[in-house]
Amino acid sequence: MQAQRIIIIHPGSLYVRIGRASDLNPITLLHAVAYRKRESTSAQGHKDALLPHVQGSAETLAEFEEQRLQVSHSIQSYAPLQETYERSAKRLRVATPPQQIATFNRRSVPEDLPILDDNICNDNNENIVKLEMLFDKDILELNEKEASAYDIHFPMRRGELNLHKSVGGSTAAIISSMEKIWLYALKNHLNIAADALPHYSAVLVVSDIYNRSQLRELTTLLLQRLRFRSCFLLQDHVAATFGAGLSYACVVDIGDQKCSISCVEDGISHPETRVRLSYGGGDVTQVFLNLLRKCSFPYKECDVEKGYADATLIMHLKERFCHLTLDVCGAQERCFEVKKGNKRLRYTLQIGDECVVAPLCLFHTELLNITGKTKQAKVQLRSSQQPDPEDCFDAEYIRETGRRNGVRDQLLEGSIPVTGEVTEEDLVVDDVVDRDTNNKTSDKDELLYIVNGQIMPIDQAIVRSIERCSTEEIKRKMYSCILLVGGSTKFSGFSKWLEQRVMLQLAATSTSYSAFEVNAFSREMDAGMIAWKGAAIMSCLESAPELWIYSNEWEKYGLRILREKAPFIW
C-alpha cells in the first residue's frame, strides 16, 4: 500500500492532526465545528468553552492564593539542587515581589498600532458570519456577538468523547461533528474530495484508555460514513514509541485537557499501568491568567469566558512566557498585541515567577482547584465492565450463555446431583457477584491516583503507574525511559524538573530506589506530533497488511474482525 494513499488521523480535545503517511508533518486544525442556529429554533444553544471554566468563589480564590505562596517559596528550596544538577553557575536566586511588578503594570498604557488591510479583514468577516458551518481559525476569529449566532462543539473533552445533555451531546451528534471536521480538513487542506476516499486507507490514533463501543462507532465512521477503503486503529502511546524510535518507554502525554500515562513494551501498552488524569494545558492556562491578574494584568478587558480570541491570546502568552528554567529570575519586560474591532493595541507588562509557578501546577495540583475540585482519574476498564450487546463474542455474553448452557448440559447428563429446582437466578448469581467485584476493583484502581480527595500530581502518578509493572526489570527499564509527548510538555526545563521530582518521589516511596536510574526526555521534534509520526511509520511496515480492516470485512463480520485484528488487547 502506497504511503501517499494512507491518511493518518490523530484527534484530540483541542486539535486534530491529519495528513498523508508520506507527509513530513501533519496539518493541525482546531478540533471543533460551529453550526449556524436556526432562526425558528427557540431551544437553548450550546457553546463549548476553549478553556476549562474557573470556579470564582471567594473560598476557592483564597485557597489559590495560599497555594501560590507555598509554591513560590518552594521554588527557592529546589533551586540549589536544580543548579547543581545542571552544572550551572551557583548564585543567589532573587524573586521580584508581585507588588513591585503590579505597580509597573498598573502604569502600563497600550500603544496604538496601524491597522493592516482593514478593508480586506472586514470583508472576510462579513462573508464568514453568513456561512452555515465554520471550522478552524474562522471559529477563533468570531467576536462575542457573532459567536452567539452559532452552536460551537468540540467533539472531544478530557481525552474522550464530549458526551453531555445539551444540544449535540449524543454519540450520534458527536460522530457527525467529527465527520464534518475531518471532511473539511481532507478537502480544504489535503485536496482530497469525499468521493475519492474509497481509494484511500486511514489509520486512526485512539486514546490508550478506550471504550469499546466508541471504537466501534469510530470504525463505522471511517469505513461506512467516510467510505475509506480500509482502516486500522492504533493506541496513541504505542504510536508515540514508534515515532520516537523506542522499543519500550513510560509514555507521559500531557495534552490540552488531560494527562495520560502508560508503560509500553514491544508495541503493547500494559493495561494495569494506564491512567488518565483530567487536567492539562488548558488548566495551566487558567492558572497563568489568574497569576497575571494578581500582578495587575494591563489588558483588563480580557474575558476568556465570552470569546475565543482572548482565550487564544492567553494560550499563546503561556506558550511564549512560561518555563521551568530557574536560571531566569527577576522581573522580565514583555510585549504582546491585541486586536479589538478596528484597533490594534500593543501592551507592555512585567512578569516574574508567575511564568514558573503556572507550569508547576502540574506538580502542585492544589492550584488546579480553580478549574474544579472534583477532577477524576480514569483507568482501563476490564472487558466485563464494558459489555457490548452487538458483540456475540463479548466476554460478558460468553460468560452468561456459556455458564447457563454448561449447567443445563450437566443436568441433562446427570453429572451433578439435583437437590431441588434450579432457577435462572441461581444460574447467574455468581456472574452478578463477579461483575460487582470487577466494578469495585476498578474503583480501587482509580482511587490509587487520588490522595486525600486531591488528584495526584504528574510526578506521583508516573511513579504509581510504573510501580504497577509486574517485575523489577520492567520497572527499571521504564524509569530509565520516560518519554514526554503532547503539546503541553514544551516548557523549557520541564523534562529536567520532572526527572528531579520523580527521583524525589521514588526515594520517598521505594526502598530500592538506588537501583533505578531516572531519565525523562522528549525527542527533538514537535512533541505534539510524535504519535502522528509513529502511526505514519507503523502504517508502512511490512507487517502492516495484517492490521488493515477492509470495508467489506467490517460489513460482514463487524466487531469480530476488530477484535481479531486490533493491535492491542481487546
Q: What is the DSSP string of 291-359?
A: HHHHTT-S-TT--TTT-HHHHHHHHHHHHHH-B--TT--S-EEEEEEEEETTEEEEEEEEE-THHHHHH
For residue 438, the model assigns a pLDDT of 55
**Residue 15 falls in which region: left (phi positive, over 0), alpha (psi -120 to 50) or beta:** beta
410 pLDDT above the threshold of 80: no
- Does 364 or 443 have the greater pLDDT score? 364
How far, in Å, CA of 327 to CA of 496, rounded?
Answer: 13
The band of 426, judged by pLDDT with boundaries at 50, 70 and 90, is very low
The count of C-alpha atoms lying within 13 angstroms of the C-alpha of 209, restricted to the half-sphere facing its C-beta, is: 24
Q: What CATH number does domain 3-49+121-244+528-565 carry, 3.30.420.40, 3.40.50.150, 3.30.420.10, 3.40.50.10330?
A: 3.30.420.40
pLDDT of residue 408: 45
pLDDT higher for 302 or 409? 302
- CATH fold, domain 58-116+281-371, is Actin; Chain A, domain 4 (3.90.640)
- H/E stretch holding 201 reads strand 201-206
pLDDT digits (tens, 9 = 90+) for 500-556: 999 999 988 776 667 788 999 988 889 999 999 999 999 999 999 999 999 999 999
Kindly list the domain boundaries of the chain, sorted by start residue. Answer: 3-49+121-244+528-565, 58-116+281-371, 383-447
- Equal CATH topology for 3-49+121-244+528-565 and 58-116+281-371: no
* pLDDT at 116 (0 to 100): 67
pTM of the model: 0.89
Cell of 56: 470564582
pLDDT in tens, 39-89: 766 567 899 999 999 988 889 999 999 999 999 888 876 544 444 444 444
Q: Within a 10 A sphere around the Cβ of 567, how many other Cβ atoms?
A: 17
Note the pLDDT of residue 250.
98
More confident residue, 401 or 190: 190
Instruction: Please tell me which residue, 457 or 407, carries the higher pLDDT value.
Output: 457
Position with higher pLDDT, 336 vs 1: 336
Q: 488487547: which residue's cell?
A: 569
Q: CB-based contacts of 118: which residues, under 8 Å, 6+ apart?
A: 342
Instruction: Give the pLDDT mean for 146-171.
Output: 94
Q: Alpha-carbon distance 561 to 428, whole Å?
A: 29
Residue positions counted in the chain: 570
Largest Cα–Cα distance in the chain?
94
